[in-house]
Structure 1
Amino acid sequence: MSRVTAWAELLRVSALFTVPGDAVAGAAAVGRAPNRGTALAAASSVCLYEAGMALNDWADRETDAVERPERPLPSGRISPPAAFLAAGALTAAGLALAARAGRPALLTATALAGTVWAYDLRLNHTRAAPATMATARALDVILGAAATSTGTPTAAAARDVAGAAGLMGVHTWAVTAVSRREAEGGAPAVPLAALGVVAGIAAVVTRQRRPQALGAAAAYVAGAARPLAHAALNPSPPLLQRAVGGGIRAMIPLQAALTARTDRRGSAATAAALLALLPLARRLSRKVSPT
């Protein structure tokens, strides 16, 4: 069991619930119900996300030995070669799954994999880190759209996909910016700015006043805003880490809101299914940290 626990910590399994909704939001943006391609995109996204988690700890193993010695690699519970091999195998699996959804999906997944590896190996500790993570999350939404759609999307659909991808990306940028100081503490300006981003995203998502989207947006604000407000008042490591965890889990209701705001029949039910993942993510995050 200790071996299983170590891999669960390495792969941040409590954050996995935030991944499939990207594909669903991408499908909704092109006006389609989730189909086989959407499922393949979601599975591919999960593999690439987990590859990024393993590779991140492999690349940061020396830093973690000082700042987080309890992590699986510095504590010796998982060897660095095993983590690197897992990252490679998961990347290959993610690309193989995307290939089954068609050439556009494979091209998008390849760009996503490249972004993940560039972030972990080169850009993680640079000023480009938040923008790189935002790009990865936006590409994840686009992957869902590319895998779901069977033809060239209309101009309106392409615009909707770009909008959904952009909102997920901006949220990710804000959460990543906060996470950069979660180990040592930081200034209140960063979580305060992230709080403003959350408010702006909620305003955009609820512009069409669809009931299900309003409910999901409220859950999004409730999940992200409160810990960010606490971190702005006291930007200590524990509160910053709590804000990052809340921001990660808040991606689920944001994905639900993006899905519910479309006029496709059945989008409200799909959004409700996504929201059902939120309590599971909260419960698991008490056992395995998402950061």
Structure 2
Amino acid sequence: MIQTTGPRRAWAELLRLPALFTVPGDALSGAVAAGGRPNSRTLLAIGSSLCLYEAGMALNDWADREEDAAERPHRPLPSGRIRPSSAFTAACVLTAAGLGLAARAGRPALAVAAPLAATVWAYDLALKHTPAGPVAMAAARGLDHLLGAATTGRPQEALPSAALLGTHTLAVTTVSRRETQGGTSLPPLAALAATAALTGLVARGALGTKRAGSTRAGSTGAGSTGVGEVSATGPGGGTGIGSADGASAGADRRRPAHDRSGLTLDAALRTALATAYAATAGRPYTHAALNPSPPLTQRAVGGGIRATIPLQAALAARAGSGLTAMAIAALAPIGRKYAKKVSVT
């Protein structure tokens, strides 16, 4: 249990401050997965995502205040450190701010942010304790990814990576439904299997992602998403920059040496990030599967939430943007630092 003093600490608990660092990677990885690179509109999308995410956190505790009074009386609302009306007001204000920032990012971004906000409210107020709850949460994470993609003009190209993020979120949310009771190994086992499958897909670059805005081999012009960016349309992590038909491995052998080096570095980064994802999520899932007690189940949920960051980074690397991937990955140690002070669940 976290001992807290003062209103700042209470609000940090209510809003799950460490989990906030899992949010920017949605929009950043979405922007590069859509074939572009982050821009000023992407920054507005990140601001919108942060507001809507925190709105969901405040609304979640407002909706669960009676349940938390019995199961987690130390939480800010049942302990009396924050009034329920204040939490609800914060949810409303943050939702309005999120939609306002999305509107400034452009009409396509607002077209994604509006259903995202609706999904957040529907989950907290109606769907959370139903079979549709995990699916709604997965949809929210996928929409958040598409919010970033909408700022680069081709959000449909980010649908495959949005599905991967959604699958991860579905697994975490399913485990979280037992975090205060524990008692069953099935959810963490299923989450462990999902993590293994996602790790394999991301490490291989199995889903077709085009190089952002470039159709010339070795191009580093305005359409590029970063240094060393390559197409990842085949299992080898790149089948020819600008190739839309999955060229053979022989095409890679005919590349200049510096292009082949770029492919190797890109694949190595993607593999390293996929491995980090597997380790961050897999270890606590395994412990919870072996002993599904509430403490270990809660650790599994926390590990799954933290694993979102390396997964986002791996998706960015898979899209050919190593710089964006490293920027996302840099958020992980910051989140871990704050997680030592405030719980992510």
TM-score (norm 2): 0.80
Considering only CA atoms, is the larger Rg found in Structure 1 or Structure 2? 2
Q: Tell me which amino acid in the other structure corresponds to 1:285.
A: A
1:61 alignment counterpart: 65
Deviation track 1:108-128 (CA, whole Å, cap 9, x = no partner) reads 100000000000000111111
Q: Is the 8 A contact 2:48 2:98 kept in 1?
A: yes
- Pairs aligned (count): 281
1:241 alignment counterpart: 298
Q: Tell me which amino acid in the other structure corresponds to 1:240.
A: T
1:206 alignment counterpart: 203
Q: How does 1:83-122 map to 2 (within 5 A)?
A: 83-122=87-126
Give the 3-state SS of the residue equivalent to 2:75 in structure 1: coil
Give the 3-state SS of the residue equivalent to 1:183 in structure 2: coil
Give the alignment partner of residue 9 of structure 1, picking from 9, 13, 17.
13
2:310 alignment counterpart: 253
Q: Tell me which amino acid in the other structure corresponds to 1:253.
A: P
Supply the distance in 2 between the matched residues of 1:186 and 1:167 (Cα, whole angstroms). Answer: 28
Q: Are positions 1:29 and 2:33 aligned together?
A: yes
1:73 alignment counterpart: 77
Q: Tell me which amino acid in the other structure corresponds to 2:203.
A: T
Q: Is the 8 A contact 2:191 2:285 kept in 1?
A: yes
Q: Tell me which amino acid in the other structure corresponds to 2:142.
A: A
Supply the distance in 2 between the matched residues of 1:186 and 1:193 (Cα, whole angstroms). Answer: 15
Q: Tell me which amino acid in the other structure corresponds to 1:188.
A: S
Supply the distance in 2 between the matched residues of 1:234 and 1:140 (Cα, whole angstroms). Answer: 33
**Aligned-pair Cα RMSD in Å:** 1.0
Q: Is the 8 A contact 1:40 1:147 kept in 2?
A: no
**Runs of 4+ displaced beyond 6 Å:** none
Q: Are positions 1:218 and 2:275 aligned together?
A: yes
Shift of 1:98: 0.2
Supply the distance in 2 between the matched residues of 1:262 and 1:58 (Cα, whole angstroms). Answer: 38
Give the alignment partner of residue 227 of structure 1, picking from 269, 284, 298.
284
Q: Tell me which amino acid in the other structure corresponds to 1:93.
A: A
Of 24-33 and 225-234, the range deviating more from structure 2:
24-33
Supply the distance in 2 between the matched residues of 1:100 and 1:178 (Cα, whole angstroms). Answer: 36
2:212 alignment counterpart: none
Deviation track 1:118-152 (CA, whole Å, cap 9, x = no partner) reads 00000111111100000000000011000232xxx
Q: Tell me which amino acid in the other structure corresponds to 1:287.
A: K
Supply the distance in 2 between the matched residues of 1:286 and 1:242 (Cα, whole angstroms). Answer: 12
Deviation track 1:26-46 (CA, whole Å, cap 9, x = no partner) reads 101112111011111111000
Give the alignment partner of residue 334 of structure 2, picking from 273, 280, 291.
280
Supply the distance in 2 between the matched residues of 1:278 and 1:105 (Cα, whole angstroms). Answer: 26
Supply the distance in 2 between the matched residues of 1:279 and 1:222 (Cα, whole angstroms). Answer: 15
Supply the distance in 1 between the matched residues of 2:70 and 2:313 (Cα, whole angstroms). Answer: 38
Give the 3-state SS of the residue equivalent to 1:187 in structure 2: coil
Shift of 1:47: 0.2
Q: Are positions 1:172 and 2:169 aligned together?
A: yes
Deviation track 1:39-95 (CA, whole Å, cap 9, x = no partner) reads 111110000000000000000000000000000000000000000000000000000
1:46 alignment counterpart: 50
2:325 alignment counterpart: 271
Shift of 1:184: 0.9
Give the 3-state SS of the residue equivalent to 1:289 in structure 2: coil
Q: Tell me which amino acid in the other structure corresponds to 2:102.
A: A
Q: Tell me which amino acid in the other structure corresponds to 1:73.
A: L
Q: Tell me which amino acid in the other structure corresponds to 1:94.
A: G
Of 233-242 and 200-209, the range deviating more from structure 2:
200-209
Q: Tell me which amino acid in the other structure corresponds to 1:21.
A: G
Unaligned runs of 5+ in 2: 206-236, 238-266
Higher helix share: 1
Supply the distance in 1 between the matched residues of 2:61 and 2:125 (Cα, whole angstroms). Answer: 10
Unaligned runs of 5+ in 1: none
Q: Is the 8 A contact 2:29 2:324 kept in 1?
A: no
Give the alignment partner of residue 193 of structure 1, picking from 190, 195, 202.
190
Of 268-277 and 44-53, the range deviating more from structure 2:
268-277
% identical aligned pairs = 62
